């Protein structure tokens, strides 16, 4: 078995048919489907059982209703495949997703994550505004390589996460070597539906990623999704992000080698923390006057990041804040974005 698809469910029948069709309809068929259900009573289990009777690649496991991340981890634990795909029950993917992502990882054994663009869908499955291509931190750090196959070398994506946002916006975009979970651990429930960020930060410090631009994973936006109650950009959201960053940085020695720690701690983590603090405070200013006052205060304190910001403005670059992920890429002495043609 090459690919293990882990599908957590809890009363998921509304969108489950679309998700199952996206799996059964894959052009690549060397996969197993592990459904981890938490006691659904809406017809979800019957739908899975009907599929299991027709397809012996399907297994279903019943678990307590203790959250989506424990069920992510259970699916990974029972996975027999070398590669893992976490199929959130309300989302979907292109029919060539698995085939192209498997080829990418087979061709690049130094990479532990294959990643592709995200297609944002509405509740009825229609395509929504493509904010991922324009506004995601992945897109803003990648520049002209966004539409090209390329490698992203560790610890780039981990350092980018230090800015306080997910580089990998959704698990639906990722095919992951199972050995990476053994290296950095599973998903944590401590921070509720934001727990993806904690895992992405850990993985981004140690895992090379290959970006596959010619397929997609879908993220359905609707009022019932797990992240619907998260107030992005709120003080509570930012505090949770800060807690996750501190937790990962405090425990880096659990999953990376000491030689790597020296470089990450010594060069990148402190700079990323300073940049995040500056961007967060600058972004919280209520007006242009307040932003100028904040910058002047930072300049007076001798903060290098403020001088870099001022220099960009004097050069006519008014997008310095938005383009800060590109600044992070520039910190690395070697190329960490490697085009593959």
SS3 for 94? coil
Q: How many residues does the chain have?
A: 341
Side-chain-side CA neighbours of 11 within 13 Å: the count stands at 7
Q: How far is CA 101 from CA 28, 71, 85, 270, in A?
A: 10, 23, 10, 34
CA 62 to chain centre: 27
Q: How far apart are the first and last CA of the chain?
A: 30
Could you count the other beta carbons within 10 Å of the beta carbon of residue 68?
A: 22
**Ordered domains of the chain (ranges, CATH):** 1-90 (3.90.550.10), 103-317+324-341 (no CATH)
The β-bridge relationship of strands 217-220 and 31-37 is unpaired
Which pLDDT does position 118 carry in this prediction? 97
The β-bridge relationship of strands 337-339 and 150-152 is antiparallel
Digit-by-digit pLDDT tens for the chain (341 residues) are 799 999 999 999 999 999 999 999 999 999 999 999 999 999 999 999 999 999 999 999 999 999 999 999 999 999 999 999 999 999 999 999 999 999 999 999 999 999 999 999 998 888 898 899 999 999 999 999 999 999 999 999 999 999 999 999 999 999 999 999 999 999 999 999 899 999 999 999 999 999 999 999 999 986 665 554 445 567 888 899 999 999 998 888 777 766 666 677 778 999 999 999 999 999 999 999 999 999 999 999 999 999 999 999 999 999 999 999 999 999 998 899 999 97
Could you count the other beta carbons within 10 Å of the beta carbon of residue 65?
A: 12
The β-bridge relationship of strands 111-115 and 3-9 is unpaired
**C-alpha span between 327 and 322 (Å, rounded):** 10
Which pLDDT does position 63 carry in this prediction? 96
The β-bridge relationship of strands 58-62 and 31-37 is parallel
Q: pTM for the whole thing?
A: 0.93
Contact present, 167 and 200 (Cβ < 8 Å): yes
Among the listed residues 204, 14, 7, 203, the one whose alpha carbon sits nearest the alpha carbon of residue 125: 14
Which pLDDT does position 228 carry in this prediction? 46
Which pLDDT does position 233 carry in this prediction? 64
């Amino acid at each position: 078995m090459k690919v293990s698809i882990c599908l957590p469910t809890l009363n998921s029948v509304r969108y489950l048919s679309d998700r199952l069709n996206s799996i059964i309809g894959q052009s690549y068929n060397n996969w197993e489907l592990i459904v981890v259900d938490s006691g659904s009573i809406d017809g979800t289990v019957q739908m899975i059982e009907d599929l299991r009777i027709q397809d012996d690649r399907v297994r279903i496991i019943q678990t307590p209703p203790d959250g989506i991340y424990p069920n992510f981890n259970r699916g990974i634990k029972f996975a027999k495949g070398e590669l893992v795909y976490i199929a959130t029950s309300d989302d979907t993917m292109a029919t060539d997703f698995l085939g192209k992502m498997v080829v990418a990882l087979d061709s690049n054994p130094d990479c532990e994550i294959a990643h592709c663009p995200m297609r944002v869908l509405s509740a009825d499955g229609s395509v929504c505004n493509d904010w991922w291509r324009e506004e995601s931190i992945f897109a803003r750090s990648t520049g002209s390589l966004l539409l090209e196959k390329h490698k992203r070398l560790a610890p780039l994506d981990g350092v980018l996460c230090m800015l306080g946002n997910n580089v990998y916006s959704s698990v639906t975009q990722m095919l992951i070597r199972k050995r990476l979970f053994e290296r950095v651990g599973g998903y944590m429930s401590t921070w509720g539906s934001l727990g993806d960020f904690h895992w992405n930060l850990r993985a981004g410090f140690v895992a090379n990623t290959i970006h596959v631009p010619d397929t997609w994973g879908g993220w359905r936006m609707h009022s019932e999704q797990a992240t619907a109650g998260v107030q992005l950009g709120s003080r509570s959201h930012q505090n949770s992000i800060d807690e996750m960053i501190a937790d990962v940085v405090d425990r880096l020695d659990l999953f990376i080698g000491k030689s790597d720690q020296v470089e990450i701690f010594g060069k990148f983590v402190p700079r990323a923390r300073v940049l995040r603090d500056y961007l967060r405070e600058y972004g919280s200013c209520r007006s242009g006057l307040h932003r100028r006052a904040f910058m002047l205060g930072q300049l007076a304190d001798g903060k290098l990041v403020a001088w870099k910001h001022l220099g960009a403005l004097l050069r006519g670059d008014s997008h310095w804040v938005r383009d800060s992920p590109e600044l992070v890429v520039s910190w690395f002495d070697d190329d960490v974005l490697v085009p593959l043609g």
